[in-house]
Amino acid sequence: MTFKLLIVFALIVAPTLIAPLTAQNAERDADAAYIRKIYNQSLTDGRCYPWLEYLSLQIGHRLSGSTGAEKAVIWTEAMLDTLGLDSVWLQPVMVPRWVRGEAEQVRVAGAANKADNFSLHALALGGSVSTPAKGLQAEVVEVNSWEALDQLGERNLRGKIVFYNRPMDPTRIRTFEAYGGAVDQRVYGASRAAKYGAVGVLVRSMGLRLDDYPHTGTLRYDSAFTLIPAAAISTNDAERLSALLEKGKPVQIFMKMNCQTLPDVQSYNVIGEIRGWEKPGDIILVGGHLDSWDVGHGAHDDGAGCVQSMDVLRNLRRLGYQPRHTIRCVLFMNEENGLRGGTEYAKEAKRKNEFHLCAIESDAGGFTPRGFSFDGDDAVFGRFFEKVETYEPLLEPYGLSITRGGSGADIGPLKGMKGLLSGYSPDSQRYFDVHHTAADVFDTVNKRELELGAASMTALVYLLDKYGL
Amino acid sequence: MTFKLLIVFALIVAPTLIAPLTAQNAERDADAAYIRKIYNQSLTDGRCYPWLEYLSLQIGHRLSGSTGAEKAVIWTEAMLDTLGLDSVWLQPVMVPRWVRGEAEQVRVAGAANKADNFSLHALALGGSVSTPAKGLQAEVVEVNSWEALDQLGERNLRGKIVFYNRPMDPTRIRTFEAYGGAVDQRVYGASRAAKYGAVGVLVRSMGLRLDDYPHTGTLRYDSAFTLIPAAAISTNDAERLSALLEKGKPVQIFMKMNCQTLPDVQSYNVIGEIRGWEKPGDIILVGGHLDSWDVGHGAHDDGAGCVQSMDVLRNLRRLGYQPRHTIRCVLFMNEENGLRGGTEYAKEAKRKNEFHLCAIESDAGGFTPRGFSFDGDDAVFGRFFEKVETYEPLLEPYGLSITRGGSGADIGPLKGMKGLLSGYSPDSQRYFDVHHTAADVFDTVNKRELELGAASMTALVYLLDKYGL
């Protein structure tokens, strides 16, 4: 700025700015003090950790339609009932019921060198059909891209087992991007192989670490093609199988799985809320998904998000906070293999014409908070995002940043309804070490990290409630 | 900005700014691309993780003067020798040798209710004297502040065991601040109790988690008072002992430790460097400390910092980078109980009149990177810090921020020498779960997190080397 401009600014522009700035600063100081109180509450009196312990060790995994899921519905409703909320209820939703059956068998078969006939650590993909009762055996063909699959075509793939082995990219700093760049193999691999006459599919597990844990997860069949069985194998076994294939000789795989899809089952989203005193029809939602895969404890995915969301309401109650808007905790059922809970929730919200000012989902693990990413309908997003960006100085002391990006699967169906969507973003480095595996257990969750997440979500809810959109 | 000011800006000021900005942008793009290469190298071809595995599992803990420390010197020198550096050498330094002896015994004794006579998980503090050979037994007095200690005074403390039980503050977001607010009890507690005639000291472990791991660590005796034995007890046992004392009846503690301080031992700092082509006399140092406590593996503290520092040199070599300044990796000996390595290093640097442009220490665990904090001599710090602050936009995509703050114990003695000091700052939430305990083992270190740290340090070295100060 030149000297003359400086004079103009000092004499004419600045005085008109100072008075409102002072009032704004006092407001910001009050907000900073309240957010400090929220963190103190969460770090010294939070309940999310013992809740997660119970959910993990007493109930365990809880795939949609299982007894675990049923118990989790009953228990989380009972816990919400203890918090002195204005309402707690169950929202009915029919969910698919897929069962794994006996442990999968996947092994190299018929190799001349007997040491090469090793067993692979495998888990059927969720929704997969079974193999024939006696299992199936076929030559395996490794494929590292869709282009390679298409080039091989029916001539090379008919009657074969396709082995998708494109790894997650370790150079992506955000591991969810690495996941996004590889998970298409798991989701679409079976039908795209069946299109060329393949009889089975193995997929390298969606993990960055080399270990023995297979990662399950959902697949989507295209009903235009035969439904063929598909399983994930551990990254170590993917490397081993690939090395064996590199020798150039045909390799046979035997696989046996007896998973099946049973009729739909009655289940529920679990919901609790504190009614807003000023605008009870405007809702700020915090949530996670109550179902998990049928291995491990579903501790990070997504027990963590559930207990954090429950603790947001408890934190507000313990602080005696009276919200202007309705603050609602939703534990969605069936995120993993159907999204029925999220779909049903949005349908009813639309029917009741509820306005969701903001929906926040925690479904990226219970790790150290890094921030929140925001998404929303194009018609309103720009203006809303500008507003929440102004919160950043208040959240930055807690290691949080505000970014544009994805939110959460369960709240996705609310997108068209002109509110803001947000995904809670913890540190992502360890998430895909445990995601959808038997290793996703309570012991891998750190108490402080979990509590910091609950505090961060509570702080965001406080700011959204105070300032609206 | 008013419309008139905008016109003035657009016509007069802006054009003079545009040309240099364009050149600057091209430079920044080149830097961003090089930093991307550094991360790719580290995440796909880093050696820090297998190095840490060897250091942890084949060598293990390595307290100064121990055979573990001796082996670590030999092995890290050999590893540096494989990197094609310009020089690798050992810098001699005499170090203290304290030995723990047999496992400590600490228990409640003589309670009427036999169930109250429980054993406590304890570790003698580093440097502590032993108890009498038969152990000592005395009444225990809990103290939660220095003021309380002084008020109790000699009348209440003579012949007693003082139990310091002020916990780390869980509401501090940065756990190192919580540590800083409590560790005075461990460091000074023995002599301040001995001043009032106490015969022994128990200290609540420096950890935020409730568990059974005692945390050792150094104490400092004031030679004006009797040297009395001191041990850390686990946080669970601290809670249990405190609950017992709350019943109001006198509690006796029996403690037996036979640790001792032996004569000093010859040891070494391990050093390797790539000579700068332009200013070989100006040094950018990366380092950690090679010694550890005598429990666990010293994996996070500070095996991680050592292997990351070694990998900085390897990354630069693998990328074919030719540094302007000398890049030196220093693995300091004896940070934990004497700082002899850091002291000796600075003394020789002063004698040789070496200028350390910047010294970076990694000694806060091998967790996900959050940034670097900077410190330095007042005479130069402000100007230097302004310069490194401009790096932030290049480091921010990797989750790194640039802050003012502490650096590292080993590089502290360089502070007067007019260079910049920096501490690598990973996420701190889990560090005090393992710090100075048997739980600080290789399995608690995540490969990606460790590699990201090595990459972050390499990126900072690159920027410092390119732009100087």
The per-residue pLDDT for range B100-151, each reduced to its tens digit, is 999 999 999 988 888 889 999 999 999 999 999 999 999 999 999 999 999 9
A405 confidence band (pLDDT: 50, 70, 90): very high
pLDDT given at position B296: 98
B8 confidence band (pLDDT: 50, 70, 90): low
Residue range A101-258 forms a domain whose CATH class is: alpha beta
Task: Kindly report the length of chain A.
Answer: 469
User: Which phi-psi region, left, alpha or beta, contains residue A76 (left: φ > 0; alpha: ψ -120 to 50)?
Assistant: alpha
Q: Is the predicted pLDDT of residue B3 greater than 70, yes or no?
A: no
What is the DSSP-derived secondary structure letter of residue B104?
P
Distance from CA of B162 to the nearest CA of A (A): 27
Instruction: Over range A410-428, report the average pLDDT.
Output: 96
d(CA A271, CA A331): 6
What is the residue whose two structure tokens read 């022994």? B200
Q: Is the predicted pLDDT of residue B23 greater than 90, yes or no?
A: no
> E strands along B275-353, which residues?
279-289, 325-332
B448 and A5: CB-CB below 8 Å?
Answer: no
Judged by a CB distance cut-off of 8 A, whether residue B16 touches chain A is no
- Phi, psi for residue B425 in degrees, rounded to 5: -115, 95
Contacts of B446 in chain A (CB under 8 A): 429-430, 433
d(CA A307, CA A142): 41
Judged by a CB distance cut-off of 8 A, whether residue B170 touches chain A is yes
B449 and A433: CB-CB below 8 Å?
Answer: no
Q: Is the predicted pLDDT of residue B200 greater than 50, yes or no?
A: yes
Residue of B368, B370, B392 best to disrupt the A interface, most CBs of A under 10 A? B368
pLDDT given at position B134: 97
**Does A361 qualify as catalytic in the annotation?**
no
> Which of these, B339, B332, B320, lies nearest to B360 by C-alpha position?
B332
> Which of these, B237, B260, B259, lies nearest to B140 by C-alpha position?
B237
Q: What fold does the segment set A36-98+263-467 form as a domain?
A: Aminopeptidase (3.40.630)
Q: Which residue of A has its CA nearest to B2?
A: A13
**Could you say which of A5, A43, A171 has the minimum Cβ distance to residue B171?**
A43
Under 8 Å between Cβ of B211 and B241: no
A370 confidence band (pLDDT: 50, 70, 90): very high
Continuous segment of H or E residues that includes residue A331: strand A325-332
Q: Is the predicted pLDDT of residue B17 greater than 70, yes or no?
A: no
Instruction: Over range A105-120, report the average pLDDT.
Output: 90
Tell me if the bond preceding B116 is cis, omega within 30° of 0. Answer: no
Distance from CA of A226 to the nearest CA of B (A): 39
Continuous segment of H or E residues that includes residue A329: strand A325-332
Give the CA radius of gyration of chain A.
25
A171 and B368: CB-CB below 8 Å?
Answer: no
CA trace torsion B374, B376, B380, B384 (10° rounding): -20
Judged by a CB distance cut-off of 8 A, whether residue B40 touches chain A is yes
Cα of first residue to Cα of last residue in chain B, in angstroms, is 35
The token pair at B207 is 């950890």
d(CA A90, CA A111): 55
Instruction: Over range A137-148, report the average pLDDT.
Output: 98
Judged by a CB distance cut-off of 8 A, whether residue A254 touches chain B is no
d(CA A364, CA A432): 10
Q: Residue B215 to residues A113, A431, B394: CA-CA distances in angstroms?
A: 52, 28, 38
Judged by a CB distance cut-off of 8 A, whether residue A389 touches chain B is no
Judged by a CB distance cut-off of 8 A, whether residue A174 touches chain B is no
Other C-beta atoms lying within 10 Å of the C-beta of residue B451: 26
Instruction: Over range A363-392, report the average pLDDT.
Output: 96
Q: What fold does the segment set B37-98+263-467 form as a domain?
A: Aminopeptidase (3.40.630)
Q: Which residue of B has its CA nearest to A174?
A: B398
Domain ranges for chain B: 37-98+263-467, 101-258
d(CA B93, CA A136): 67
**Could you say which of B8, B40, B429 has the minimum Cβ distance to residue A368?**
B429
Q: Is the predicted pLDDT of residue B439 greater than 80, yes or no?
A: yes
Q: Is the predicted pLDDT of residue B6 greater than 60, yes or no?
A: no
Distance from CA of B431 to the nearest CA of A (A): 11
User: What pLDDT digit, counting tens, does each position of A123-133 carry?
Assistant: 999 999 999 99
Other C-beta atoms lying within 10 Å of the C-beta of residue A379: 9
Complex-level ipTM: 0.92
pLDDT given at position A13: 57
> Looking at A104, A142, A335, A344, which residue is catalytic?
A335
Q: Is the predicted pLDDT of residue A219 greater than 70, yes or no?
A: yes
The token pair at A135 is 């299992």
d(CA B194, CA B196): 5
Contacts of B5 in chain A (CB under 8 A): 5, 8-9
Its sign, for the CA torsion A59, A60, A61, A66, is negative
pLDDT given at position B110: 83
B170 and A43: CB-CB below 8 Å?
Answer: yes
Other C-beta atoms lying within 10 Å of the C-beta of residue A392: 14
Q: Which residue of B has its CA nearest to A446?
A: B430
User: What pLDDT digit, counting tens, does each position of B168-182 carry?
Assistant: 999 999 999 999 999
Judged by a CB distance cut-off of 8 A, whether residue B275 touches chain A is no
d(CA A256, CA A135): 4
pLDDT given at position B70: 98
According to DSSP, the β-strands at A252-256 and A260-274 are unpaired
User: What pLDDT digit, counting tens, does each position of A144-174 carry?
Assistant: 999 999 999 999 999 999 999 999 999 999 9
Under 8 Å between Cβ of B361 and B305: yes
Query: Half-sphere exposure of A355 toward its Cβ, with a 13 Å CA cutoff?
Result: 11
Distance from CA of A328 to the nearest CA of B (A): 26
Under 8 Å between Cβ of B78 and A205: no
Q: Is the predicted pLDDT of residue A1 greater than 50, yes or no?
A: no
Instruction: Over range B262-287, report the average pLDDT.
Output: 98
Q: Is the predicted pLDDT of residue B443 greater than 70, yes or no?
A: yes
User: What pLDDT digit, counting tens, does each position of A236-279 carry?
Assistant: 999 999 999 999 999 999 999 999 999 999 999 999 999 999 99
User: What pLDDT digit, counting tens, does each position of B282-307 carry?
Assistant: 999 999 999 999 999 999 999 999 99
Across chain B, mean pLDDT equals: 95
Query: Half-sphere exposure of B184 toward its Cβ, with a 13 Å CA cutoff?
Result: 10
